[in-house]
C-alpha cells in the first residue's frame, strides 16, 4: 500500500478509521482485565485480543499489572500478570466472591477476638475501634461461601508460548 499520495489530514483520517475498526472488532470471546496501578484498581472489558495486548503492554510491571480472564482457550498474549481461562462471566464473579470471603474471614475473626479480649491487654495494644463485622455476619459469609462452593468453575492458567527473539 503506497501512502505517498495522501495528504497529512487524509493520513490522520485513515489512521483513525483503522484504529476504530481494530478497536471495534469482536472475535466472540470476552476479555475481562483487572488492572492494578499505583494503588488504584479497575476493571476493563475488551472484545478482542489486540486491545487486550495493548493494555498489557501499557501495564507490563512498571506502571502496573493486568490480570486477564477470558473464555478464549487459545489466547496467547505477553503479560506480566495472570492470563486465565474461565468458561463464563458468572463463574468468574462467583469465584471472585468466594475467594474474597475465603481470604477475609480469618482477619475478621481475629479482629473480633482482639476486640473481645481488649480488656486483657495493655492499653497501647488495644484495638481503637470495634470490628465492622459481627459474629452473625461472619457466619452468614461462611454460609454464603458453602452455598457458592461447587457452583462455579475456577479459572485456570492459560499456557502461553512466546517466540524467541
Residue predicted with more confidence, 41 or 161: 41
* pTM for this model (two decimals): 0.85
The reply to whether 107 falls in a domain is yes
Do 79 and 98 sit in the same domain of this protein?
no
**Contacts (Cβ under 8 Å, ≥6 apart) of 97:** 144, 148
The reply to whether 159 falls in a domain is no
The reply to whether 20 falls in a domain is no
> CA–CA distance from 163 to each of 44, 76, 77, 152 (Å)?
27, 11, 11, 34
DSSP H or E stretch at residue 44: strand 40-46
Do 96 and 149 sit in the same domain of this protein?
yes
Q: Is the pLDDT of residue 159 over 90?
A: no
Average pLDDT over residues 104-109: 97
Do 78 and 123 sit in the same domain of this protein?
no
Which residue range is the domain that position 50 belongs to? 25-85
Do 80 and 110 sit in the same domain of this protein?
no
C-alpha grid cell for residue 64?
502496573
The reply to whether 80 falls in a domain is yes
Adjacent-strand bridge partners of 46: 31
Residue among 104, 71, 2, 118 at smallest CA distance from 96: 104
Number of domains in the chain: 2
Q: Is the pLDDT of residue 165 over 60?
A: no
The reply to whether 2 falls in a domain is no
Burial pattern 47-66, b for ≥16 Cβ within 10 A else e, equals: bbbebbbebbeebeeeebbb
Q: Is the pLDDT of residue 89 over 70?
A: yes
Amino acid at each position: 500500500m503506497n501512502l505517498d499520495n495522501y495528504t497529512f489530514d487524509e493520513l490522520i483520517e485513515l489512521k483513525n478509521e483503522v484504529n476504530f475498526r481494530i478497536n471495534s472488532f469482536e472475535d466472540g470471546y470476552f476479555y475481562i482485565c483487572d488492572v492494578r496501578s499505583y494503588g488504584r484498581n479497575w476493571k476493563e472489558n475488551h472484545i478482542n485480543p489486540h486491545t487486550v495486548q495493548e493494555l498489557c503492554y501499557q501495564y507490563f510491571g512498571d506502571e502496573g499489572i493486568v490480570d486477564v480472564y477470558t473464555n478464549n482457550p487459545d489466547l496467547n498474549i505477553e503479560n506480566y500478570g495472570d492470563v486465565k481461562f474461565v468458561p463464563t462471566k458468572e463463574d468468574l464473579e462467583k469465584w471472585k466472591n468466594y475467594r474474597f470471603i475465603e481470604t477475609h474471614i480469618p482477619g475478621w475473626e481475629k479482629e473480633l477476638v482482639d476486640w473481645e479480649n481488649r480488656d486483657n491487654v495493655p492499653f497501647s495494644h488495644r484495638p481503637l475501634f470495634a470490628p465492622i463485622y459481627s459474629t452473625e455476619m461472619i457466619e452468614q459469609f461462611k454460609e454464603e461461601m458453602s452455598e457458592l462452593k461447587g457452583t462455579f468453575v475456577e479459572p485456570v492458567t492459560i499456557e502461553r508460548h512466546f517466540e524467541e527473539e
